[in-house]
Copies of this chain bind each other. A is one copy, B any other.
Amino acid sequence: MASAFELTILGSSSATPTVNRNTTAQLLNVAERFFLIDCGEATQIQLRKYKIRFQRINHIFISHLHGDHYLGLMGLLSSFHLLGRINPIHIYSPFGLKEIIAIQMNFSGTNLCFETVWHELDTENPKIIFEDKILTVETIILNHRVPCCGFIFREKEREFSINKEQAIFYGVPLTQMVNVKSGQDAVLNDGTIIKNVLITRGKQKARSYAFCSDTRFDDRVIQGVKGVDLLYHEATFMHDLLERAKQTYHTTALEAGRVARLAKVWKLIIGHFSARYVDLNPLLAEAKTEFESTFLGEDGAIFNIPEQPFGRN
């Protein structure tokens, strides 16, 4: 069965929400592990709207403490509590969020019925902040007005994909499959050796997604996201407002396309659109002048990275 690597956009507006665009939040599903990335106001409503069973989220990554990136967290934690959550929740954020939540829990007289594990981010020094059997999450340096970082989700080296028909044809026993998936040849019951290459389709490509929330155009960002498959990059303004973008520590659609081109990614998603833009197509067209494979990260949009064999190696 194919393993998911699927991103759902829950909010695409910068600063203030509009009727059609919520503020930043995204859900990443990597092989049925659910990661929430930023959590703007009303994220819990968006999760309901898109029918995401949000108790399955165990890790929440907050890029920085501007309200349009975290204001939905208190409501989400309260709902976890009211719905009787049991599993701990891990929250990764720059310094301050723990204090912001604590004061509110205090005044509302709430003792959460589940554990909250806080991970304070060092936004200056990229490092791996999460690791399990199948993936790592690491931070990316961004250039914003307050401490802020991005996140890269990378699958670890993956298994060889079994060619079922060929495995049956050669009579490979099920007990050999773990070895075959790890790249070894198969040994039949009679001692015959079947070369791995005959019974697999090659190694699955390890997939990666980089999230760059709020940042100025910055060479360090390009270096940080080099070669990822899928890149989300903010594109708050059109390039005619470059000065405004610089002042407010944001990026233009043109610059976002440039980041994608220079970092040699596979696909670019743009978002964090200023509320002044009703029609987003001009932003898309502008980014495409730099990088053709650009997509609008509108609320409700879903992006998949399909499984792809590396080919033989």
- Write the residues of chain A forming the contact surface with B, with a CB cutoff of 8 angstroms: 15-19, 22-23, 41-42, 44-45, 48-49, 65-68, 71-72, 74-75, 78-79, 82-83, 96-97, 99-100, 103-104, 107-109, 145-146
Separation of A208 and B78 alpha carbons in the complex (Å): 34
Asked if residues B146 and A108 are in contact (CB atoms below 8 Å), the reply is: yes
Please determine whether A104 and B109 come into contact, CB atoms closer than 8 angstroms.
no
Report how far A288 CA is from B45 CA in the complex, Å. 31
Chain B residues with CB below 8 A from A109, complex form:
145-146
Question: Do A104 and B108 touch (CB < 8 A)?
Answer: no
What residues of B have a CB within 8 angstroms of the CB of A67 in the complex?
74-75, 78, 104, 108
Q: How far is the CA of A65 from the CA of B107 in the complex (A)?
A: 6
Q: Quote the shortest CB–CB distance from A287 to chain B (angstroms).
A: 24
Complex alpha-carbon distance, A108 and B62, angstroms: 13
B103 near A107: Cβ-Cβ < 8 Å: no
Whole-angstrom distance between the Cβ of A145 and the nearest chain B Cβ: 6
Counting from the closest, the 5 A-B pairs by CB-CB distance are A42-B42, A96-B107, A65-B107, A41-B75, A16-B79
Identical copies in the complex: 2
Q: Which residues of B contact A146 (CB under 8 A)?
A: 107-109
Q: How far is the CB of A218 from chain B (nearest CB, A)?
A: 19
User: In the assembled complex, which residues on chain B have CB atoms less than 8 Å from the CB atom of A71?
Assistant: 41, 71, 74-75
Residue on B nearest A23 in the bound complex, by CB: B75
User: Inside 8 A of A44's CB, which chain B residues have their CB?
Assistant: 16-17, 41
A82 to B65 Cα, complex, angstroms: 16
**How far is it, in angstroms, between the C-alpha of A65 and the C-alpha of B105 when the chains are bound?**
9
Tell me, in angstroms, the Cα distance from A45 to B75 when the chains sit together.
15
Question: Can you identify 9 A-B contacts, CB atoms within 8 angstroms?
Answer: A15-B79, A16-B83, A17-B45, A18-B48, A41-B75, A66-B108, A71-B74, A96-B107, A109-B146
Kindly report which residue of chain B lies nearest to residue A105, judged by CB atoms.
Answer: B67
CB A250 to nearest CB in B, in angstroms, measures 13
Measured between beta carbons, the chain B residues less than 8 angstroms from A49 are 19
Q: Determine the distance from Cα of A48 to Cα of B21 in the docked complex, in whole angstroms.
A: 11
Q: How far is the CA of A66 from the CA of B107 in the complex (A)?
A: 8
Chain B, Cβ-Cβ closest to A45: B17
Do A19 and B41 have beta carbons less than 8 Å apart? no
- In the complex, what distance in Å separates the CA atom of A71 from the CA atom of B107? 12
Known: A65-B107, A100-B104, A107-B96. A78 touches B45 (CB 8 A): no
Residues of chain B lying within 8 A (CB to CB) of residue A65: 104, 107-108
Residues in B whose Cβ lies below 8 Å from that of A103: 96, 99-100, 103
Q: What's the Cα separation between A79 and B41 when bound, in Å? A: 12
A97 to B145, CA, bound (A): 26
